[in-house]
Amino acid sequence: GQQVMQIPQYQHVQEGEDFTTYCNSSTTLSNIQWYKQRPGGHPVFLIQLVKSGEVKKQKRLTFQFGEAKKNSSLHITATQTTDVGTYFCAGNSNSGYALNFGKGTSLLVTP
Amino acid sequence: ETGVTQTPRHLVMGMTNKKSLKCEQHLGHNAMYWYKQSAKKPLELMFVYSLEERVENNSVPSRFSPECPNSSHLFLHLHTLQPEDSALYLCASSHPGKAYGYTFGSGTRLTVV
């Protein structure tokens, strides 16, 4: 079955440093979504990418979908303590109905 | 509030008990999902309902029984659970075809003793 893998599992940065998490799928995806879960909270939808090579930005967050539609990345510029949480990618293949989530990358930002 | 309401927020139950988790959404979504979130594991898809019909069941043990009486409500009936079933159970809803992603509820933190 389809698997979505994320690296790294954990990342600890100083406030102001950049952060990147990577997502890879074993199969071609029809779309990829990114979610953020704060400690003690629930996943919150951030963005969806659909097109090959697509790049989208939300303030300090940059999302990228690979040309082959099998990998994606989330880059945060100049992290802030409010960025703390676990970032999940989730992929949907053409044959699957629901999203398959990666294990997530837990980001810790220290002031 | 997320638009998806789950009750109860916390539940402690014995292995011989029967309980139900409830999920409710009034976002006009036509698909609803149950996910299990355990420590050090990815979000595990349990059940998918589309237009009140179950469309996916990911080899979930029969001690978990879903019910979707209408497009706004989803239940997860629990009986004779095991301690390893302790986890955060998340309900989500979506409108397939729209780029708004899933809306998750706050979850039910289940502890089986």
Least Cα separation, residue B52 to chain A (angstroms): 14
Q: Peptide bond preceding B42: is omega within 30 degrees of 0, i.e. cis?
A: no
Mutation target vs B (from A33, A42, A88; most B CBs, 10 A cutoff): A42
Question: How many Å from the N-terminal Cα to the C-terminal Cα in chain A?
Answer: 41
Chain B residues in contact with A41 by the CB 8 A cut-off are 106
- Predicted local confidence at residue B2, as pLDDT: 72
Give the chain B residue whose CA is nearest to the CA of A102.
B42
User: Between the CA of residue A75 and those of A62, A107, B61, what are the distances in Å?
Assistant: 5, 12, 38
A29: buried, middle or exposed (CB in 10 Å: 19+, 13-18, 0-12)? buried
- Point out the residue among A41, A99, A100 whose CB comes nearest to the CB of B102: A99
What are B85's two structure tokens? Answer: 């079933």
Q: For A66-75, how does the pLDDT look when each residue is reduced to its tens digit (9 = 90+)?
A: 999 999 999 9
Q: Does pLDDT of A51 surpass 90?
A: yes
Residue of A nearest to B33 (CA): A98
CA–CA distance, A72 with A64 (Å, rounded to integer)? 5
Model confidence over A15-43: pLDDT tens digits? 999 999 999 998 999 899 999 999 999 99
